[in-house]
Amino acid sequence: MRLFPILAAIIVSALIYTFIFNREALTGTPPEPATSQATADTSEVNTAVGVVALRSQARKVDSAVVLRGQTEADRQVMLRAETSGLVISPPARKGSFVETGDLLCRLAPGTREATLAEARARLAEAEARVPEAKARVPESEARVEEAQARVQEAQALLDEALINANAATKLSEGGFASQTRVASTQAAVRGAEAAVVSANAGLKSAASGLESVAAGIQAAKAGVEGARAAVAAAAKEIDRLAIMAPFAGLLETDTAELGSLLQPGDLCATVMQLNPIMLVGFVPETDVSRVELGAAAQAELVSGNLVSGSVVFLSRAADPTTRTFRVDIEVPNPDLALRDGQTAEIVIAAEGKSAHLLPQSALTLDDTGALGVRLVTEQDRAQFHPVTLLRDTPNGVWLDGLPERADVIIIGQEYVGDGVRVIASYQESGE
């Protein structure tokens, strides 16, 4: 067993203990009492923490709204058949450019031309019945006038018979007229009354005939309208045989093949308009108030291409699942280089803010977990200040919530707390 190393360790330990705890007895110098204010200040200076601070001045920064989205065709329509028939036009291939009104599919007419001719013939026949029905009106009106005259004549005869009967009755009461004369005048009254009833019946019959003529005119006009509707339906059926491009764009699919049978609802072709093209993204509800119609926007596609446009639509209703709002950005695409469905990183310009550009390493947390930085106060003490992160860039982070001018601790902030005295060495922004 080696005793020398153990003995050496014991002797060294004893010497260290004696030097530390019995230094006054060895040197014979008692410690000076710390009673003055100067001594206290010197002690505080000796305990101050050295840090590196940045003299930062607030600058105007564009607080853009950043979101991910994708390109989307401005218009896209699937053209379908409205009637049945065989395709008699040669097909156009997908990728072809079409103009507004270009023929995409034509169907065989079948018997539709004959149906249209029949409908037009029935319209001519119905239109000819209207003058015929109107020609009966004068005759019916004349009959009504004649019946009215007969009623007036019969009423006059009735009045005369009543007068004669009244006179004969009074003369008979005075003994100046016979009972035979009285009976004769009363018979004349009853005959006149019967004539009035007959004349009124004739007038009613004539009026009924006039109403029947008017009803015949209305029926003839209704027949004309029905025939016109049949002509329009037959013409529309023929129009449906030709399926045209509703706007200029690209064919996304081949048109229907020659000889194929299309039923109502079958697909003829899909046309897509890519100029202009839309950038579609979804803004979180925390940023939706910062997006305005007409705001400038820029996007970087996955391919690396940069495109620019402006906001043309901002939804007023949030998606019930994601609580985000749809935003559409219109981008010119004259060369059709942009395609539908490409992923894009979108940046929408928003109102600028006054912010500080600081190194990301300057950020720290307080005891409650709040994000912020530590500043050097006028009394050379550290103080925590909460901030809001606006944007992360390769040169640092843009922070909001600080004074216009601030001395921010960028090295040593983790070793000081609020109120701790610091000795700061400064560097200007941009160093």
181 and 297 belong to one structural domain: no
> What is the per-residue pLDDT across 397-410, written as a single tens digit (0 to 9) for each?
888 889 989 999 99
**Choice among 65-69, 179-183, 369-373 with the minimum mean pLDDT:** 179-183
pTM score, whole prediction: 0.55
For residue 419, being part of any structural domain is answered with: yes
Over pLDDT 70: what percentage of the chain? 87
Among 348, 369, 399, give the residue marking a domain's end.
348
358 and 331 belong to one structural domain: no
* Total domains present in the chain: 3
Q: What is the CATH number of the domain that holds 323?
A: 2.40.30.170
| Confidence at 39, pLDDT banded by 50, 70, 90 | very low
For residue 152, being part of any structural domain is answered with: yes
For residue 102, being part of any structural domain is answered with: no
Among 332, 348, 364, give the residue marking a domain's end.
348
For residue 334, being part of any structural domain is answered with: yes
130 and 209 belong to one structural domain: yes
139 and 225 belong to one structural domain: yes
Q: What pLDDT does 208 receive?
A: 86
In the predicted model, what is the mean pLDDT of residues 121-143? 85
Q: What pLDDT does 26 receive?
A: 46
In the predicted model, what is the mean pLDDT of residues 175-179? 69
Q: What is the CATH number of the domain that holds 167?
A: 1.10.287.620
291 and 394 belong to one structural domain: no
Question: Which of residues 182 and 424 earns the better pLDDT score?
Answer: 424
Among 291, 320, 348, give the residue marking a domain's end.
348
Q: What pLDDT does 220 receive?
A: 86
126 and 189 belong to one structural domain: yes
**Choice among 147-161, 247-261, 265-279, 304-318 with the minimum mean pLDDT:** 147-161
For residue 380, being part of any structural domain is answered with: yes
Q: What pLDDT does 303 receive?
A: 86
For residue 92, being part of any structural domain is answered with: no
298 and 232 belong to one structural domain: no
Q: What pLDDT does 23 receive?
A: 53
In the predicted model, what is the mean pLDDT of residues 309-323? 93
In the predicted model, what is the mean pLDDT of residues 181-189? 80
Q: What pLDDT does 4 receive?
A: 60
Q: What is the CATH number of the domain that holds 402?
A: 2.40.420.20
- Averaged confidence pLDDT in the chain: 84
pLDDT at 33 over 50: no
Q: What pLDDT does 38 receive?
A: 45
344 and 361 belong to one structural domain: no
422 is written with which tokens? Answer: 């610091």
In the predicted model, what is the mean pLDDT of residues 249-277? 93
For residue 151, being part of any structural domain is answered with: yes
Expressed as residue numbers, the domain containing 320 is 270-348
CB distance 390 to 400 below 8 Å? yes
374 and 320 belong to one structural domain: no
> What is the per-residue pLDDT across 5-18, written as a single tens digit (0 to 9) for each?
666 667 666 666 65
Phi, psi dihedrals of residue 124, rounded to the nearest 5°: -65, -40
275 and 358 belong to one structural domain: no
